[in-house]
Structure 1
């Protein structure tokens, strides 16, 4: 990490392993891309590099290191023009649509990324999220109730469908969580 203090160049990290993204960003990468590389994402990353000064990059590194002290409770989203740190304890749910995922936070903010929900699923499951439907992942702590017609009611009033294919798994996880 100390080697990045005097960075005079910019880096885009390309990997097949998402778990290295946080380390790459902490080390000073301007962006990270998952293999296989999507041409549009690469173009956006190159655009980020051309718009970012080395001074701004160094400030981003300092900010990132301060924000990511508790790696287990955060998720870093690569947005069009920045990296957004998401507190998983305040993330209500995620919704996927045609290769994009929107993250809905309890503070009312939404963040759209050009990645599929599948790319975040493993990390979110470890943080007590469940996938009740192909298009949604829900933070279990924000579930108010589940009605037997197949609808999850979140504490903020949002309703999330449970697919028939995932119903048994969801109900089992929901009942086990609430029996603790």
Structure 2
């Protein structure tokens, strides 16, 4: 396996190299400290895995991705970005490591990357990432990891999400079902600011698709599905609907 580290701070590169030490005998590791050298190096070495710093001097890691013809690799960003940008990474299903990088976090990210070497589809996921970072409303999409790769779904097209132990079924408005190895709590945190509300331990719904609300404790969605609202969430649900209608 060939691994590339792209970072303009030597101490950050050294930290990743230290974490990679157990894998050095079975890997080729190359390092670059600028956008231009990274673009050239990616084409020459064609790595399987890239650790890419978001900021490279007065330029960015995104310039590396847009300027390189070779992008057939697994990608892990290293970043000091604030929370809003970290959410963007989560939406795109692109892994990131928050600086200063923790050893345990690094090992988890490294293992995930090596486990999913075949699930690259990097260009599409970077497009999703950039759409969120640039805050373009019509670019709000989410990447759903599947066993075969990734599905890219507009948030406004998600009807609801349903818990299935450590998995979640995501249903789109056109009736398609996607099963993702993430918990419903994960999707709740991700979609809360986009008009979604968790009405039950098992159900997260898009408020845009509510057709009927019954005071007896049920909601009917646009596809005719009737779902129960848990008693303890009922008041919060009514308040969420009121706020949503005002927005």
* Bin for the TM-score computed over the shorter chain: 0.7 to 0.9
1:117 aligned residue: 184
Question: TM-score with structure 1 length normalisation?
Answer: 0.72
C-alpha distance in 1, partners of 2:186/2:170? 13
Question: Contact between 1:25 and 1:61, CA under 8 Å: does it hold in 2?
Answer: no
CA deviations 1:18-57 (Å, max 9, x no partner) are 954754897xx8x6499x88xxx987754431x46xxxx5
- Stretches of structure 2 that go unaligned for 5 or more consecutive residues are 1-61, 98-103
Alignment partners' CA distance in 2, 1:69 and 1:62: 11
Q: CA deviation at 1:102?
A: 0.7
Q: TM-score, normalised by structure 2?
A: 0.55
| Count, aligned residues | 168
Segment of structure 1 superposing worse, 70-79 or 104-113: 70-79
User: For the pair shown, which has the larger CA radius of gyration, 1 or 2?
Assistant: 2
Structure 1 residues 103 and 24, CA gap change in structure 2 (3 angstroms) = closer
Separation in 2, partners of 1:179, 1:22: 26
Residue 113 (structure 1) shift? 0.5
Separation in structure 2 between the aligned mates of residue 14 and residue 98 of structure 1, nearest angstrom? 30
Q: How does 1:1-180 map to 2 (within 5 A)?
A: 1-4=62-65, 5=68, 7=70, 10-11=73-74, 13=76, 20=86, 22-23=88-89, 32=95, 46-49=114-117, 51=118, 57=120, 60-66=121-127, 70-71=131-132, 73-178=140-245
Alignment RMSD, CA only?
3.7
What do residues 100-141 of structure 1 show as CA deviations (whole Å, max 9, x unaligned)? 101100122111001101112122111011111111111001
Unaligned runs of 5+ in 1: none
Kept in 1: contact 2:161–2:170 (CA 8 A): yes
After superposing the two structures, state which structure 1 stretch, 68-77 or 163-172, moved more: 68-77
Give the direction of change, closer, same or farther, for the CA distance of 1:140–1:94 in structure 2 (3 Å limit). same
Distance 1:18 1:147 in 2: 36
